[in-house]
Homo-oligomer: A and B are copies of this chain.
Amino acid sequence: MAFYVQKYGGTSVGSVERIGAVADKIKSFRDEGHDVVVVVSAMSGETNRLLGLASEITDQPSPRELDVLVSTGEQVTIALLAMALHERGCDAKSYTGDQIKILTDSAYTKARIREIGVDAIQEDIKKGRVVVVAGFQGVDESGNTTTLGRGGSDTSAVAIAAALKADECQIYTDVDGVYTTDPRVVEKARRLEQITFEEMLEMASLGSKVLQIRSVEFAGKYQVPLRVLSSFVDGPGTLITFEGDQKMEQPVISGIAFNRDEAKLTLVGVPDIPGAASRILGPVSAANIEVDMIVQNVAEDNTTDFTFTVHRNDYQRVVQVLESVAEDLGAQAVRGDNAIAKVSIVGVGMRSHAGVASKMFDALAAENINILMISTSEIKVSVVLEEKYLELAVRALHTAFELDIQSE
């Protein structure tokens, strides 16, 4: 007899048949005596269809009207899922973000949740109903419809689980858990029984797309036990835990994340004067380009090479920005490389284990892989390398840190 908040994403409710399968799954939880609140996304493809209509009308849709438009996607799903539950003899009631009241700020298309109304849900739960809530959407203080940004349904689910003090927030998706790395790259990648919030945050920020990063932050902040499971295959999934909850000694490294969508820029021969960094990054940020890793080394001649990485989509724009910055600062040249990738090892275990970074560098050197940049944090080490070495590097590290299946 537990109380679950379950979230089903777009693929899980992508057709009438799949909505039926989700209803079957929910009914089996009810039959076991559990209370269930369900948060759903739009049927896969629907949000893009709606955005397509808007883009046929205008290049610059009003964010307020965009939210009115796309929030219909989840509204369709809640009605259909509630009907499918009724059809199975399962009492259920749907709610939009406005009806629950998922109160947000007024930042259309990327609103942040302020408060969740719990009264209606608690009353329905008491009556034995499954409550079906539209994810991704909310309402601001003036009654305007807002959305939380793409993938926001995960955040809706976690926020509702936090507000209702659910026993577990279960995120049903098209993968059966969090893996040590991408199984498409490393055949021996292993599903993790559990992973800490901090590790999950690093994995998510490094390109592992299982959970939206904001939902993980939210769950960590409000101490909501979070589990990632498959909608299509039964199994325990991966539980995201707090560090104190670890049942056994954790391996040093939990997983290997990577990201291909990177580009590297270097401003060569920047005069080493105070404020140079901000004169470089100021214009980049003003152009709305996000910077990831930053490395700077002062050379003997009192000039410095300033290197950073950006999303590959921003590569052309950032080169343009840097060319005028170089002139302004009297730097010698702008160099860029958009055939790079980032590989990171992640694990809370490295806090207490020295030598993790050097073990990583050794493993890469053994494969003759040159490291272009290095950046470290308390629970991860990231390196930038030539993109062509990406798969080789991930496999080498997966083996070196004993993550392969047969090593269990």
Taking Cβ atoms with an 8 Å cutoff, the residues of A that contact B are: 16, 19-20, 50, 53-54, 56-58, 60-62, 64-66, 68-69, 71-72, 75-76, 78-80, 82-84, 86-87, 93-94, 96, 98-99, 143-145
Contact = CB atoms under 8 A, between A and B. Distances in A.
Nearest to A82: B65
A57 B84 contact: yes
Main secondary structure of the interface of A (DSSP, over half): helix
A19 B83 contact: no
B76 A62 contact: no
A82 B62 contact: yes
A69 B76 contact: yes
A83 B99 contact: no
Given A53-B76, A57-B16, A143 B65 contact: no
- Between A72, A84, A87, A143, the greatest number of chain B beta carbons within 10 A of the residue's beta carbon is seen for A72
Contacts of A87: 57-58, 60
B54 A79 contact: yes
A76 B57 contact: no
A376 B79 CA distance: 46
Given A65-B78, A69-B80, 20 more contacts: A16-B57, A50-B76, A53-B76, A53-B80, A54-B80, A57-B87, A58-B86, A58-B87, A60-B86, A61-B83, A62-B82, A62-B83, A65-B79, A65-B82, A68-B78, A68-B82, A69-B76, A69-B83, A72-B72, A72-B75
A310 B301 CA distance: 99
Interchain residue pairs A-B with the least CB separation, the first 3 = A69-B79, A72-B72, A68-B79
A1 B143 CA distance: 31
Given A16-B57, A19-B57, A65 B83 contact: yes
Contact of A86 (B53, B62, B68, B94): B62
Nearest to A43: B53
A74 to B, nearest CB: 9
25 contacts: A16-B56, A16-B57, A19-B57, A53-B76, A57-B80, A58-B83, A58-B86, A60-B87, A61-B86, A62-B83, A65-B78, A65-B80, A65-B82, A65-B83, A65-B94, A68-B75, A68-B79, A68-B96, A69-B75, A69-B76, A69-B80, A75-B75, A96-B145, A98-B98, A99-B144
B69 A20 contact: no
Contacts of A96: 68, 145
A83 B54 contact: yes
A238 to B, nearest CB: 31
Given A50-B76, A57-B16, A57-B19, A68 B84 contact: no
Residue in A72, A79, A87 with the greatest tally of chain B CB atoms within 10 Å: A79
A61 B92 CA distance: 12
Contact of A99 (B19, B53, B61, B143): B143
A86 B65 contact: yes
Contacts of A79: 54, 65-66, 68-69
A123 to B, nearest CB: 11
A104 to B, nearest CB: 15
A284 to B, nearest CB: 31
A78 to B, nearest CB: 6
Contacts of A76: 50, 53, 69, 72
B16 A53 contact: yes
A143 B93 CA distance: 13
A76 B80 CA distance: 18
Most buried by B among A50, A56, A66: A56
